Structure formats: C-alpha cells, structure tokens
Amino acid sequence: MKKPEPIKRTEQLAPLSREHHEALVFLLRLKHGLKNGTSTTVMSAYINWFWTNNLEKHFAQEEALLLPHLDATDEMAMRLTREHQTVRNLISNEMSQANIALFLELLTAHIRFEEREFFPYIEKKISTTQLNDIFGKLDHLTQCEARWEHPFWDHR
C-alpha cells in the first residue's frame, strides 16, 4: 500500500497545523492513559489543562480569523462551528472513561477534517492577501507555555 503524501499547507495556516500536531500528541497521551488504566480524574485534569493552555485559544483563533471569510451558511463553516461546540460541550461534562474515549474520537476526527478538508478549502476560497492578514493576526504559539507535570502516559 502506498504511503499517503504529506499535506502541503500554505505558510499562512502552518501555525494552526503545528498546533494540530500538538493536539495529536496530546490525544496519543490520552490513548496511552486509557490503555494504562490511568484514573479518569488525572486524565480529566490533563484534558482541562490542555483545553485552557492550547485548544481554547486555538478554537477561538480559527473562529475569529477564518470564519469571517466564509458565508454563515457555508457548509464547511457550519461544520467547523458545530464540531467546535461539540468538543466544548463534551469538555464541560464529567470526563468518565467513556467520555474520554469519545473525546479522543471526536477531536481526532475534527483535526483530520480541518487538515484534509477545511484548510485546503479555505486556502482555495480566499486570497493570498487575506491569508497574509490571517497570518499576521495569529498568535504563532504552537506549544503550551506551561508543561504538564505528571506524565501518566509513560507508565509501562
């Protein structure tokens, strides 16, 4: 089977893609935590920490900087908004083992949607000048400033 080619991202949206990479690392750690039997209390605290230090701002930037370039009835814009709200709703609930597994599934699918469908769509839909404007307004922070102190995913 042929290995898929890496997705080419415009320079202007690359900071958001790098944040997606950080989120995928975060999700892999949660997956290891589930496999290792880490308590839901610890994993819930990690999810809340990552939300506060990364995802919340990432979602806000996508919504504030990308969505204004699309019509409110645009199917891709509506899907992005709907998926962001689904993740927000899930995070606001108690994180049982089932909810953590669901969170893993939903956020992984959402990142794939953005990388494979939404970003290519918006890169074609808007002008280079608009992309440059977005790039100028991005935070460009691709990693959490704070570090999680309890690496539960390393337990073997």
Cα(48)–Cα(88) distance, integer angstroms: 11
pLDDT band with cut points at 50, 70 and 90 for residue 97: very high
Task: Answer yes or no: is pLDDT of 154 > 60.
Answer: yes
Cα(4)–Cα(115) distance, integer angstroms: 14
Mean pLDDT value across the chain: 89
Task: Answer yes or no: is pLDDT of 9 > 90.
Answer: no
Cα(43)–Cα(39) distance, integer angstroms: 6
Task: Answer yes or no: is pLDDT of 5 > 70.
Answer: no
For range 122-131, the mean pLDDT: 95
Q: Choose among 15, 58, 11, 29: nearest CA to 152.
A: 29
| CB of 101 closer than 8 Å to CB of 109 | no
- CA-based max dimension of the chain: 50
Q: Compare 149 and 17 and report the one with higher pLDDT.
A: 17
Task: Answer yes or no: is pLDDT of 149 > 60.
Answer: yes
pLDDT, position 10: 86
